[in-house]
Structure 1
Amino acid sequence: MLGSWFMETRRSLLLVLVSFLAFAAPDVTTGVTYSSRLIHRFSDEARLLRVPRNDGVVRWPERKNLEYYELLVNSDFQRQKMKLGSKYNLVFPSQGSKTTSFGNDFGWLHYTWIDIGTPNVSFLVALDVGSDLLWVPCDCVQCAPLSASYYSSLDRDLSEYRPSGSSSSRHIACSHQLCESSPNCKSSKQQCPYTIDYYTENTSSSGLLVEDILHLASIGDHTVNTSVQASVIIGCGMKQSGGYLDGVAPDGLMGLGPGETSVPSVLAKVGLICNSFSMCFDEEDSGRIYFGDKGPPTQQSTHFLPSDGKYETYIVGVESCCFGNSCLKQTGFSAVVDSGTSFTFLPNAVYDRIAKEFDRRINATITSYPGYPWKYCYKSSSQELPKVPHLKLMFPLNNSFVVFNPVFMVYGIQGVSGFCLAIQPMEGDVGTIGQNFMTGYRMVFDREQMKLGWSTSNCQDLADGKRMSLSPDGTPVNPLPTNEQQSTPGGHAVAPAEAGRAPPSKPSAAAPTRPRQFIYLQMLPLLVLLHVVVSSFPLDTGSTTHG
């Protein structure tokens, strides 16, 4: 009887306390009031907060005029598209997702064929994550040779774009929100000019901006390849200079950076894909490109770092560099991840430590090869390379990026004659992780989560599951050039150009997330009271004691 009374009393008290907590909790939460001031996106206060563009000018619509309402409506459309999600899982150039390196002839970059305009015209464009604009030779004043006979790797002529020959081409006026050269225009109706000065010395492209159709294809969950057309911003490249006249990107370049004019940005903005893309580089000088690819769930990743508070290019922070399980001291650095740079550049101090440790571990005779830019080169006594130590880059949260083959093989008349550590020193504290370090990886540039993902891959075709075709004998399609090949046009290894590179300032780490559950601390006395009451009564274990 007494035990039964205890249990009934316990249940009653529990019911009272739970009911009290249920009614008290709303009072606690409503007791804390948060307030914020709403500012209209085109108010004078918001204008003061707007970050100026590269030219220092803040474009701002005059209230209640036509441009003002057009921008509001356009913003609403974009928000609706974001809510609905992306239309396609993966999108790629209409001629296929395959990318190819033509080796020494074209500066060791990866290229893909794209189709532009109506009727469509094909262009072989270099792929560069270090810049934003897609430009092609157009109404040429000063362009690279386009005849296939000028290049040993081509079997067809390259193309020149003519906006007047495309029924879908439209001029971009200086009043357009993406025209960065508008302060230099004489009138708002004038066609927008552009000039891009690339990182490589005296290398640039200039001309006029147009809008035209980029022809793409897609794959879905239950569909075959579907034709996709997207309006993109294109640079009508009338005048090129430097490396663009000497074998690098003679038929144009597709910028894949985070800027608003880049192809991935445009495709994501109109809702065709999620804001991410991937590039894959295999050992056979081929690869893949997919827009909308978020990568496999098993990939490793690290967050991009802003430079001066802005994400103008893809910068990551390396915590240390290791050979095997041995990590070198003071080898942390920040680096731009750039497929438009053939080889990797490291800050001087980091380079010295890595190069000396590599030299200590390699069992080969050091030498030099005239015309090659690398300091640490070695002779090879046979057709096979000696065992090369793997270089490992360590990122936060123990994520690691293994460079399986950090060397560049040197070929002579009779085959392999040696190899070089394919890293160069540079001034400043921001290095460049070039294309050679990405070989064997599927690199994912996730601009929604602002992170870089990577996973080992043989670059299979995600559209049909087939692996890309390799060379018949398994040897590299484009080995290093012999002395004879080096004398041909464009026959020297040219470090590719970069655009939109962030200034070499130290990137800032992202701010940590602050927990929001602190409000429930005010309920702590009630929870303590509940604990005391419950623990004061014996638990009913279901057993019966007989006296």
Structure 2
Amino acid sequence: MGVWCSVIYGASIMQDRDLGIYKPAESTTSRHLPCSHELCLLGSDCTNQKQPCPYNTKYLQENTTSSGLLVEDILHLDSRESHAPVKASVIIGCGRKQSGSYLDGIAPDGLLGLGMADISVPSFLARAGLVRNSFSMCFTKDSGRIFFGDQGVSTQQSTPFVPLYGKLQTYTVNVDKSCVGHKCFESTSFQAIVDSGTSFTALPLDIYKAVAIEFDKQVNASRLPQEATSFDYCYSASPLVMPDVPTVTLTFAGNKSFQPVNPTFLLHDEEGAVAGFCLAVVQSPEPIGIIAQNFLLGYHVVFDRENMKLGWYRSECHDLDNSTTVPLGPSQHNSPEDPLPSNEQQTSPAVTPAVAGRARASSSGPTNLHKLLANSHLLLLLTMSTVFFIS
């Protein structure tokens, strides 16, 4: 979990917002994590075992970093079973210096660590016995919710998480084939990271080309000049004439289909009226894809770490307050507290922060995903207003 703290360097663009900056000194329950702590990566390199533990995270977005100190504090969460808030101890990355996309307004309120590593919020909650080792998110256009301990519903579809570069270190799934409308591309399997922290879905180059070209064939609209937008395939439209958009479908292992509600990004004129739309899919610089926030809209997505699978079902999110709850308390399935082997618990990737409108990947940006996966933490970004529940 990362938040920007009382001293922020280079964040002058955010001075017009009330960020509610976290100040550890004003919290009666905060304490700096010492270098001697088992979750401090500095470990034996600390000159003083009692000194605060630093962190430094690099992201796939070009020149985007965050550094600061780790702080332990209490997170207050609402429960769907009780009116009393649940208090959970978590470790916060107290950001003191940000660079790159953070200076352009990305994540002004900070990041929430949801990865598989021990240091993430879901891991802390599950180890404390507060919830099952699972969480879910539901996204709409202007809001989102996260439910810790939620394992979804019996009618949802699911597919297993799979190792990436030989390790179960992030929320990766196998995509067996991709389809546009009724046209499917066989033998186009690839692995994809499911990541709410990236704005637009990215596909490996060959699959991106096949999907984009077929999308272009099926769209009955005039193509806009490529240099006019950050996307490769854009088309003219108007509020009165919006052509039918072909569906895009990803088929996961077990013939489970995932179809985004809307694979496009609307373009607006100076008055705010619809002027066109783009296929909101970009090329991945690696043979690994990313199923991003734009494909997750309109779905309740379940990250079931206890059973190591991804679940999903269509939802408008407003009906979740009355949905079936998962009892408070640890799992009753006799599963380990953390699904990862001990030698894999400290490595998870830092993914690209969501950057709306900056879809084209920079040719000078980092492309060695494997190297980044081995040296940093996974932080998923919730760019929409979020209400926290424990189920």
Shorter-chain TM-score bucket reads 0.7 to 0.9
| Matched residue, 1:72 | none
Distance 1:442 1:314, change over 3 A: same
- Write out per-residue CA displacement over residues 10-68 of structure 1, whole angstroms, 9 at most, x where no aligned residue: xxxxxxxxxxxxxxxxxxxxxxxxxxxxxxxxxxxxxxxxxxxxxxxxxxxxxxxxxxx
Query: Are residues 1:225 and 2:91 paired?
Result: no
Q: Which amino acid aligns with 2:78?
A: A
Q: C-alpha displacement at 1:247, in angstroms?
A: 0.6
More deviation in 307-316 or 432-441? Answer: 307-316
Q: TM-score, normalised by structure 1?
A: 0.58
| Matched residue, 2:250 | 393
1:364 to 190, 202, 221: 221
Query: Are residues 1:158 and 2:19 paired?
Result: yes
Query: Are residues 1:412 and 2:279 paired?
Result: no
Q: C-alpha displacement at 1:188, in angstroms?
A: 1.7
Query: Are residues 1:493 and 2:357 paired?
Result: yes
Secondary structure of 1:258's counterpart equals coil
1:162-173 equivalence runs, <5 A: 162-173=23-34
| Matched residue, 1:441 | 299
Distance in 2 between the 1:413 and 1:303 partners?
45
1:207-356 equivalence runs, <5 A: 207-220=68-81, 224-282=82-140, 284-356=141-213
Q: Which amino acid aligns with 2:92?
A: I
Distance 1:405 1:166, change over 3 A: same
More deviation in 372-381 or 386-395? Answer: 372-381
Distance 1:363 1:495, change over 3 A: closer
Q: Which of these two proteins has the greater Rg computed from alpha carbons?
A: 1
Distance in 1 between the 2:100 and 2:319 partners?
35
Secondary structure of 1:355's counterpart equals helix
Secondary structure of 1:180's counterpart equals coil
Q: C-alpha displacement at 1:464, in angstroms?
A: 4.2
- Write out per-residue CA displacement over residues 401-434 of structure 1, whole angstroms, 9 at most, x where no aligned residue: 0123111110113511110000111232101111
| Matched residue, 2:49 | 188
Distance in 1 between the 2:158 and 2:320 partners?
21
Q: TM-score, normalised by structure 2?
A: 0.80
Q: C-alpha displacement at 1:231, in angstroms?
A: 0.9
| Matched residue, 2:240 | 383
Q: C-alpha displacement at 1:190, in angstroms?
A: 1.7
| Matched residue, 1:373 | 230
Distance 1:139 1:371, change over 3 A: farther
Distance 1:382 1:296, change over 3 A: same
Distance 1:496 1:439, change over 3 A: farther
- Write out per-residue CA displacement over residues 423-471 of structure 1, whole angstroms, 9 at most, x where no aligned residue: 1112321011110011111000000111100000111253346xxxxxx
Secondary structure of 1:437's counterpart equals helix
Task: Specify every segment of 5 or more residues in structure 2 that has no aligned partner in the other structure, as ranges.
Answer: 324-353, 362-367, 373-391
Q: Which amino acid aligns with 1:203?
A: T
Distance in 2 between the 1:368 and 1:289 partners?
39
Task: Specify every segment of 5 or more residues in structure 1 that has no aligned partner in the other structure, as ranges.
Answer: 1-133, 151-156, 466-489, 506-547
Work out which structure has the larger RCO, using CA pairs closer than 8 Å and 6 or more positions apart in sequence. 2
Q: C-alpha displacement at 1:137, in angstroms?
A: 1.3
Distance in 1 between the 2:41 and 2:369 partners?
17
Distance 1:491 1:287, change over 3 A: closer
| Matched residue, 1:206 | 67
Q: C-alpha displacement at 1:292, in angstroms?
A: 0.7
Distance 1:496 1:312, change over 3 A: farther
Distance in 1 between the 2:291 and 2:123 partners?
22
Q: Which amino acid aligns with 1:198?
A: Y
Secondary structure of 1:420's counterpart equals strand
Q: Which amino acid aligns with 1:421?
A: L
Does the Cα contact within 8 Å between 2:62 and 2:100 map onto a contact in 1? Answer: yes
Distance 1:496 1:427, change over 3 A: closer
| Matched residue, 1:456 | 314
Distance in 2 between the 1:399 and 1:314 partners?
17
Distance in 2 between the 1:260 and 1:135 partners?
15
Secondary structure of 2:259's counterpart equals strand
Q: Which amino acid aligns with 1:214?
A: L
Does the Cα contact within 8 Å between 1:146 and 1:159 map onto a contact in 2? Answer: no
Q: C-alpha displacement at 1:166, in angstroms?
A: 1.2
Does the Cα contact within 8 Å between 2:139 and 2:317 map onto a contact in 1? Answer: yes
| Matched residue, 2:280 | 422
Q: Which amino acid aligns with 2:148?
A: F
Does the Cα contact within 8 Å between 2:178 and 2:250 map onto a contact in 1? Answer: yes
Distance 1:491 1:348, change over 3 A: closer
Distance in 2 between the 1:143 and 1:267 partners?
33
* Count of aligned residue pairs for this structure pair: 336
Does the Cα contact within 8 Å between 2:197 and 2:292 map onto a contact in 1? Answer: yes
Q: Which amino acid aligns with 2:144?
A: G
Q: Which amino acid aligns with 2:29?
A: S
Distance 1:206 1:496, change over 3 A: farther
Does the Cα contact within 8 Å between 2:230 and 2:358 map onto a contact in 1? Answer: no
| Matched residue, 2:339 | none
Does the Cα contact within 8 Å between 1:172 and 1:211 map onto a contact in 2? Answer: yes
Distance in 1 between the 2:238 and 2:145 partners?
35
| Matched residue, 2:370 | 503
Q: C-alpha displacement at 1:330, in angstroms?
A: 3.4
RMSD: 2.5
Q: Which amino acid aligns with 2:108?
A: P
Secondary structure of 1:264's counterpart equals helix
Distance in 2 between the 1:288 and 1:439 partners?
12
Distance 1:496 1:364, change over 3 A: closer
Does the Cα contact within 8 Å between 2:231 and 2:359 map onto a contact in 1? Answer: no
| Matched residue, 2:16 | 149
| Matched residue, 1:140 | 7
| Matched residue, 2:351 | none
Distance in 1 between the 2:252 and 2:205 partners?
20
Secondary structure of 2:2's counterpart equals strand
Q: C-alpha displacement at 1:148, in angstroms?
A: 6.2
Secondary structure of 1:261's counterpart equals coil
Does the Cα contact within 8 Å between 1:230 and 1:267 map onto a contact in 2? Answer: yes
Query: Are residues 1:432 and 2:294 paired?
Result: no
1:14-25 equivalence runs, <5 A: none
Secondary structure of 2:122's counterpart equals helix
Does the Cα contact within 8 Å between 1:307 and 1:503 map onto a contact in 2? Answer: no
